[in-house]
Amino acid sequence: MESRHTSRHTMTIPPGLVEGFTTLYGTPPTGVWSAPGRANLIGEHTDYNNGLVLPFAIDDRTWCAARVNGTGVVSVASTAQPTRHAVAIADLDQARFEGWSGYALGVAWALHASGHDLSRAPGVDILIDSTVPLGAGLSSSAALESAVAVTLNDLWELGLDRMALAKAGQLAENGAIGAPTGIMDQVASLFGQADHAVLLDCASLSTRAVPLSLERSGLALLVIDSTVKHAHADGGYASRREACEKGARAMGVPFLRDLTVADLAKAEAILDDETFRRVRHVVTENARVLDTVETLASSGPEAIGELLLASHASMRDDFEISVPEIDLAVETAMEAGAVGARLTGGGFGGSAVALLPATQVHNLTELVHAAASDRGFATPAVLIVTPSEGARRDQ
């Protein structure tokens, strides 16, 4: 159980990381790199439909202390679990990864699998530390992939741009872990900026930083982690993706992105009810992302509450990826004076995000805890998230 509603000092290198590296590998690291987790403001399950998303990088990060070694082997360990996992660069073709190491070593595999020449790449030792909560819908996995991607890009002098690194992270997730996820999380982690969300068009892969102006508006973003664990290698996420592909095929378009709200009447006429509701979620959600961007520019964050709530209702009723714990968090947040709130991330557990007056953070936290307890749910972890800078070299 965790309740953090004051600012956390998560933006600096964790104490003990550099020393831990030196103890583990017998020599100090030559650098430290990091990448953040993300929350999604709006645009859920739209990325793999070639659609629009508006996530932001959060202030919890994953850190890599690293240095080149002379062995031709990439070795990763974590401060939470210092067993080393290693793969020889020459063996990346046949590599199989154990547990969490697939997210890290999977990036090396993905760089190789996407055709980058690693024949002269030296081995690398990495020690990882992270403050991103696991399984909370805050993309601890993309934070890890992106941190490793920027580390290897620098140490291997690959010269890849951030979108190429995001693609490598996504390929690691899809190919090494087997989670059929889109590219939103990696892009948020790599392209995030302080006090901005990232508008990503998944068709063109173009990005735009969208100012949030939270402080000026006296607003804060809160993540309410239901502590109901999700994993995207499980069936729910994949089945939603399949329903979207089925809907697109039936409507004769390559991706649901190619439909607009005006096409929904035809979709309703030709699709079965469940597929239609999946399609309606994606089509209306893409429209809500654009509305949110326009509303932020014209009227500021205080005006986007209705869009956040409509997104939640669509995920709950049409896409059916919410859980009672998250619905309760959203309802309670609204009763506590939030501007808007919604499930964030892939769903089937994880977190809600709420936008609220900064003065209400304490009140909302207490109400959310009390409401969960009344219903016999686990106590949610509530944390303020500050839209923050994306992946970087720290030292």
Q: Are strands 381-385 and 3-4 parallel, antiparallel or unpaired?
A: parallel
Using CB under 6 A as the binding rule, the residues of this chain from 238 to 277 that contact ligand GLA are: none
Using CB under 6 A as the binding rule, the residues of this chain from 328 to 357 that contact ligand GLA are: 345-346
Smallest gap from Cβ 207 to ligand GLA, in A, equals 15
Look at phi and psi of residue 73 and say left if phi exceeds 0, alpha if psi is from -120 to 50, else beta. Answer: beta
Cβ 95 vs Cβ 146: under 8 Å: no
Smallest gap from Cβ 169 to ligand GLA, in A, equals 10
Q: Does 285 bind ligand GLA (CB under 6 A)?
A: no
Among positions 10, 35, 36, 47, the unique one binding ligand GLA when judged by CB under 6 A: 47
- Which residue lies nearer to ligand GLA by CB, 133 or 345? 345
In 278-299, which positions are buried (b, 16+ CB within 10 angstroms) versus exposed (e)?
bbbbbbbbbebbebbbebbeee
Among positions 45, 61, 342, 369, the unique one binding ligand GLA when judged by CB under 6 A: 45
Stretch that binds ligand GLA, among 42-50, 97-105, 190-198, 307-315 (CB under 6 A): 42-50
Which residue in the block uniquely carries the two structure tokens 């920027």?
Answer: 150
- Which residue lies nearer to ligand GLA by CB, 85 or 232? 232
Among positions 182, 247, 340, 390, the unique one binding ligand GLA when judged by CB under 6 A: 182
Smallest gap from Cβ 311 to ligand GLA, in A, equals 10
- Closest Cα partner for 111 from 73, 166, 71? 166
Q: Does 153 bind ligand GLA (CB under 6 A)?
A: no
Among positions 44, 125, 225, 389, the unique one binding ligand GLA when judged by CB under 6 A: 44
The letter for the amino acid at 279 is V
Among positions 59, 60, 129, 185, the unique one binding ligand GLA when judged by CB under 6 A: 185
- Closest Cα partner for 292 from 385, 361, 190, 197? 197
Smallest gap from Cβ 363 to ligand GLA, in A, equals 29
Stretch that binds ligand GLA, among 178-186, 307-315, 333-341, 359-367 (CB under 6 A): 178-186
- Which residue lies nearer to ligand GLA by CB, 185 or 325? 185
Q: Give the residue ranges of DSSP H helices in 258-322.
A: 264-270, 273-299, 305-313
- Closest Cα partner for 353 from 140, 56, 3? 56
Q: Does 140 bind ligand GLA (CB under 6 A)?
A: no
Which residues lie closer than 8 Å to 39 by C-beta, 6 or more apart?
Answer: 55, 56, 58, 137, 138, 221, 223, 344, 345, 351, 353, 385
What DSSP character marks residue 26? S
Smallest gap from Cβ 55 to ligand GLA, in A, equals 8
Stretch that binds ligand GLA, among 61-69, 177-185, 216-224, 309-317 (CB under 6 A): 177-185
Q: Does 145 bind ligand GLA (CB under 6 A)?
A: no
Which residues lie closer than 8 Å to 239 by C-beta, 6 or more apart?
Answer: none
**124-62-351 Cα angle (round to 5):** 145
- Which residue lies nearer to ligand GLA by CB, 66 or 143? 143
Smallest gap from Cβ 49 to ligand GLA, in A, equals 9
Among positions 21, 33, 48, 319, the unique one binding ligand GLA when judged by CB under 6 A: 48
- Closest Cα partner for 385 from 227, 223, 226? 223
Cβ 179 vs Cβ 48: under 8 Å: no
Smallest gap from Cβ 42 to ligand GLA, in A, equals 10
Q: Does 169 bind ligand GLA (CB under 6 A)?
A: no
**x/- map, 195-234, ligand GLA, by CB under 6 A:** -------------------------------------x--
Smallest gap from Cβ 18 to ligand GLA, in A, equals 31
Which residues are marked as active site? 185
- Which residue lies nearer to ligand GLA by CB, 185 or 225? 185
Rounded CA-CA distance 224/227 in Å is 9
Rounded CA-CA distance 228/294 in Å is 33
Q: Does 184 bind ligand GLA (CB under 6 A)?
A: yes
Rounded CA-CA distance 332/111 in Å is 44
**45: helix, strand or coil:** coil
Residues that bind ligand GLA in the complex, under the rule CB under 6 A: 40, 44-45, 47-48, 139, 181-182, 184-185, 232, 345-346
